[in-house]
Amino acid sequence: MHSSLIDYTIHLADSTHILSQRNSEWCGHGPILEQDIAITNISLDLLGQSRNFYQYAASLMNNDTNEDQLAYMRSEREYKNLLLTEQPNTDWAHTVLRQYFFSQFQFLLFEQLQNHNDPQLAAIAAKSLKETTYHLRWSGEWVIRLGDGSEESHQRMIVAMDALWAYTGEMFIATPYELISGIDFKALNENWLAKLQLLLAEARIPIPENTYFQTGGKTGTHTEHLGFMLTELQYMQRTYPNCEW
Amino acid sequence: MLVQDMEQIFQDKIDREIKIEPKDWMPEAYRKTNLRQISQHAHSEVVGMLPEGNWISRAPSLKRKAILLAKIQDEGGHGLYLYSAAETLGFSRDEMINDLLSGKAKYSSIFNYPSLSWADMGAVGWLVDGAAILNQVMLCRTSYGPYARAMVRICKEESFHQRQGFDALLVLSRGSKEQKAMCQDAINRWWWPSLMMFGPKDSESTNSDQSMKWKIKRKTNDELRQQFVDMIAEQIKTLGMVLPDPALKWNEARKHYDFGAINWEEFWNVVKGNGPCNKQRLAARNKAHDEGDWVREAAKQYAEKKRNRAKEQAA
Ligand SMILES: [Fe+2]
Ligand SMILES: [Fe+2]
């Protein structure tokens, strides 16, 4: 029970952390200044959420670990983030679609999690829900705008959908450590799909027929991208261990 | 009314500390000077996001990463206010950005230096934002209303940036041998370029007199530079580091610090495009702009579609 709670909390921390890291690559390079600021803001929110989860996980482990130890000193086989969150930015279409998939999932998850019997998880979920609501609206609007925008943006959304769809299923396939979470994954999946279908109809994007999903991120088997991300992310802590920053 | 009379009324307002507003009559040279200065300032905020952005993915702790991201986001926000302020002078943001991307418009040369270590994030906050603040505090009282008001908002955030930069260096200065060396190295590299941020010496500054008379500027380049040296020479004592200037010395008679000669040849070369990162900075801005082209176009087409649908429904 205890170790599952730790794993689950670390999984929530890793997913938000890695997606934050991906989104932050846009900072200073966005398609227009207002959107550069918006995606950086989302990156910051996700980073804040991940810190809350890491800090909670560290307190559950009650040795002298801390948020930075957890974020910077674990290898890729120990990282438990969703594969979706580590997929490269590629272009604005991939970025906003990835964000929408994740935010819609997170929104529904946090709705359940805010009533969780673990008061700390419940509190973090309740606190994060407001931010997530904004991320969901922002990314949903962009999916529609690009899907129903120009011929080129429509094509790019189709390509993004094709690239990312296979990574969505993992969100709803519970790992052993998630079984204790009390989350109703079936309901989560159905509600997520229902919301998605409404949005994609407006965005004029078909849902791919492929229902074979990639899994493994939540148990530490990642795509080839994560290793490079962690190499960069962990560079300072690995080069200068045991320092304060 | 004669132009001379208009100019008389204009100068009279300035002398009585009444702000000039976008719809007021103003000499063409006043409009142009402000437009050039405000748009350059906006470009500096945006290009300034690049050297610091260089360390986001490698920030050494989650807390530092959050501080850095928030800081760079603030700079983007400053760019937005300033573009809006500049637009009141009758030039669109798109036109300004085109001038930046083509290399026609300038931005602060300091951002043409590379950020090579984590300590640079502290040094930039402390020295670069520190130098910017002195200029911007003065500009809170500049004569053009929209510029002055933008500066008031921006100054609050800038002083926060400077404190955070100093704080990051303070941690390094009390850290390991490597951290201390990193800290000193960053100060060594950023010190002289920071002094150059105030621009050429008063004796060589071309439009300084007119800008002072119109109260666009209220202090000369050399006055601001001296103020900066005096401030930093004191603050560095807390860090236990040294400024890379053997001539730096308190002058009891002047009640100011004396300091060594600035390498103006380097300054003019960086202005002309020969700095270590001029090409990379401009290339990065152009790349972001070009790759964002289809996104902006899609947003435009979607907005049009939406308008047309609303019209059809109304009909
Ligand atoms: Fe700024
Ligand atoms: Fe700043």
The candidate with the shortest Cα–Cα distance to B46, out of B5, B106, B95, B91, is: B106
Check whether A1 has a pLDDT greater than 80: no
pLDDT tens, residue by residue, B150-177:
999 999 899 999 999 999 999 999 999 9
Per-residue pLDDT, B205: 80
pLDDT cut 70: percent of chain B above it = 100
pLDDT tens, residue by residue, A185-239:
999 999 999 999 999 999 999 999 988 999 999 999 999 999 999 999 999 999 9
Q: Ligand 1 centroid vs B125 CA: distance in angstroms?
A: 10
Using H for helix, E for strand and C for coil, what is the string for B256-299? Answer: EEECCCCCHHHHHHHHHHHCCCHHHHHHHHHHHHHHCHHHHHHH
Per-residue pLDDT, B47: 98
B1 against B281, higher pLDDT: B281
* Angstroms from A46 CA to nearest CA on chain B: 10
CATH topology for A2-239 is: Ferritin (1.20.1260)
Q: A33 CB near a chain B CB, below 8 Å?
A: yes
Q: Ligand 2 centroid vs A148 CA: distance in angstroms?
A: 38
3-state DSSP assignment of residue B249: strand
Interchain proximity A27–B175, CB inside 8 Å: no
Interchain proximity B179–A243, CB inside 8 Å: yes
Q: A145 CB near a chain B CB, below 8 Å?
A: yes
| Residue matched to tokens 């307190």 | A59
3-state DSSP assignment of residue A8: helix
Domain boundaries, chain A: 2-239
**Residue A86 corresponds to which amino acid?**
E
Instruction: Give the C-alpha separation, A5 to A21, whole Å.
Output: 24
Pairs across A and B, CB distance < 8 A = 137
Q: A245 CB near a chain B CB, below 8 Å?
A: yes
β-strand partners of B20:
B144
Check whether A240 has a pLDDT greater than 80: yes
| Residue matched to tokens 């019209």 | B311
Q: How confident is the model at residue A146 (pLDDT cuts 50, 70, 90)?
A: very high
Interchain proximity A153–B297, CB inside 8 Å: yes
The DSSP line for B154-209 is HHHHHHHHHHHHHHHHHHHHTS-HHHHHHHHHHHHHHHHHHHHTT-S-GGG-SSHH
CB interface of A with B, residues 53-72, below 8 Å: 54, 67-68, 71-72
| Residue matched to tokens 């390094």 | B172
Note residues around ion ligand 1 (Cβ under 5 angstroms).
B 45, 75, 78
Per-residue pLDDT, A181: 83
pLDDT cut 90: percent of chain B above it = 95
Contacts of A131 in chain B (CB under 8 A): none
What pTM was computed for the model? 0.97
Instruction: Give the C-alpha separation, A90 to A98, whole Å.
Output: 11
pLDDT cut 70: percent of chain A above it = 100
Check whether B91 has a pLDDT greater than 80: yes
